[in-house]
Amino acid sequence: MITKIYQLETLTCPSCSAKIQGMLKKTDGVKESEVLFNSSKVKVTFDETKIESETIKGKINKLGFDVLSEK
């Protein structure tokens, strides 16, 4: 398991956070996720043998949120 923190563009509403959280819960390989609305960050713990970081970033982008960086 690996944990990454993705910095997003500013999240404008709590429903945006819920949208991202809901998508991540349904994503195979993601063990835990937390969307930090106030700081516009998404913390994801995932199994790197099942899903890659680039795939997670792509899924977030498809929802309409730009990932600015990752740690």
Query: pLDDT digit string (tens) for 2-59?
Result: 999 999 998 888 899 999 999 999 999 999 999 998 999 999 999 999 999 999 999 9
In the chain, what are the domain boundaries?
2-70
Nearest to 51 by CA among 69, 21, 24: 24
Nearest to 10 by CA among 49, 44, 48, 36: 36
Q: Which pLDDT does position 11 carry in this prediction?
A: 87
Q: Which pLDDT does position 13 carry in this prediction?
A: 85
Q: Residue 10 and residue 30: Cα distance in Å, rounded?
A: 23
Cα-to-chain-centroid distance, residue 24: 7
Cβ pair 34, 42 in contact under 8 A:
yes
CATH class of 2-70: alpha beta
